[in-house]
């Protein structure tokens, strides 16, 4: 499958020159690069979330293989959709899929299914690609799109990622694509997001799921984030750090209805 951009000229510029220029405006070139197991990055339009995404990607040494886990906003396709073949076309160049790594992960999971439909119109994975390409033009990826499920579902996929990583011979970065609270006041969004972020920084996947559900936090990528945390803990993660937090109100000036964005690394 050749997967064409679904949200170019909507979430980000649709031509290489202007897209690269915008990514450069968010990148922090003087940041020291760190080796990390996983990260969380937002996926809104770049004018709103680009500075948070640029901040978190700027501190990470991007390896040649990246697993990107995103939520399913469209309702299309499988609840646990992985692609093992194909190319994603982007204004900044094609991104190939690492078929070997994809199959290693899929073979370790009871839930993951080969499915392209979940990815066809999903924006939350696509918007990560230009940032990754900017910092490592040669990376390959494994795209995984997940619909909301329970902790057991997350454990299956997270442990599958960890087992595949142990079998694979090269470094892997696991990216969880997520925005935080949606369309609440700045005060409410920050209060709720602080509760979710505290669980992430504590490396507490069950606590994150329980907190998001108990407090009715509209964190769209809670399942990808939980999966990423489970995988990273199994791979020996010891700490997580909040790189940057912001809301759409910080850009728009409208603090009555904001969306929260967090950039977090896991080491």
Q: What span, in angstroms and rounded, lies between the C-alpha atoms of 17 and 68?
A: 25
135 pLDDT more than 90: yes
pLDDT digits over 16-59, tens only? 999 999 999 999 988 999 999 999 999 999 999 999 999 999 99
DSSP 238: -
pLDDT digits over 223-252, tens only? 999 999 999 999 999 999 999 999 999 999
How do strand 80-82 and strand 140-146 relate by DSSP bridges?
Answer: antiparallel
- Give the residue carrying structure tokens 């011979």: 169
- Give the residue carrying structure tokens 């990514």: 23
Q: What span, in angstroms and rounded, lies between the C-alpha atoms of 34 and 151?
A: 29
Count of C-beta atoms within a 10 Å radius of residue 147: 18
148 pLDDT more than 80: no
As a whole-number percent, the residues of the chain with pLDDT over 90 amount to 98
Q: What integer pLDDT is reported at residue 173 of this predicted model? A: 98
Length of the chain: 267
Q: What integer pLDDT is reported at residue 246 of this predicted model? A: 98
Q: What integer pLDDT is reported at residue 183 of this predicted model? A: 97
User: Token digits for 34?
Assistant: 């760190």
7 pLDDT more than 80: yes
Alpha-carbon distance values, 139 to 47, 94, 96, 150, 157 (Å):
25, 10, 8, 31, 22
pLDDT digits over 181-240, tens only? 999 999 999 999 999 999 999 999 999 999 999 999 999 999 999 999 999 999 999 999
Helix axes 186-201, 205-214, angle to 10 degrees: 160
pLDDT digits over 56-87, tens only? 999 999 999 999 999 999 999 999 999 999 99
- Domain boundaries of the chain, sorted by first residue: 23-266
CA angle 27, 64, 100 (to 5 degrees): 145
- Mean pLDDT (whole number) for 135-141: 97
On whether the CB atoms of residues 102 and 157 are closer than 8 A, the answer is no
| pLDDT band of 169, cuts 50, 70, 90 | confident
149 pLDDT more than 90: no
Dmax (CA) for the chain in angstroms is 49
Q: What integer pLDDT is reported at residue 81 of this predicted model? A: 98
Which CATH number does 23-266 carry?
A: 3.40.830.10
| Nearest partner of 218 among 256, 261, 251, judged by Cα | 261
């Amino acid at each position: 499958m050749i997967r064409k951009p679904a949200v170019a000229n909507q979430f980000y510029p649709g031509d290489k020159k202007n897209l690269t220029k915008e990514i450069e405006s968010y990148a922090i070139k003087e940041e020291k690069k760190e080796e990390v197991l996983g990260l969380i990055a937002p996926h809104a339009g770049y004018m709103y979330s680009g500075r948070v995404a640029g901040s978190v990607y700027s501190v990470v040494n991007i390896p040649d293989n990246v697993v990107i886990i995103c939520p399913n906003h469209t309702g299309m396709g499988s609840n646990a959709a992985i692609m093992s073949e194909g190319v994603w076309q982007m204004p900044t160049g094609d991104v190939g899929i690492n078929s070997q790594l994809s199959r290693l992960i899929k073979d370790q999971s009871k839930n993951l299914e080969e499915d392209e439909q979940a990815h066809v119109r999903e924006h939350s994975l696509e918007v990560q690609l230009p940032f990754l390409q900017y910092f490592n033009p040669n990376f390959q990826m494994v795209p995984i799109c997940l619909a909301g499920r329970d902790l057991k579902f997350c454990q299956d996929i997270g442990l599958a990622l960890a087992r595949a990583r142990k079998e694979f011979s090269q470094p892997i970065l696991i990216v969880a694509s997520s925005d935080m609270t949606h369309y609440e006041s700045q005060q409410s969004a920050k209060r709720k997001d602080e509760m979710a972020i505290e669980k992430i920084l504590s490396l507490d996947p069950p606590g994150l799921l329980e907190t998001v559900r108990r407090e009715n936090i509209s964190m769209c990528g809670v399942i990808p984030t939980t999966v990423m945390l489970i995988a990273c803990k199994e791979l020996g993660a010891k700490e997580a750090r909040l790189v940057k937090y912001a809301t759409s109100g910080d850009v728009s000036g409208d603090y009555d209805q904001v969306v929260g964005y967090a950039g977090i690394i896991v080491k």
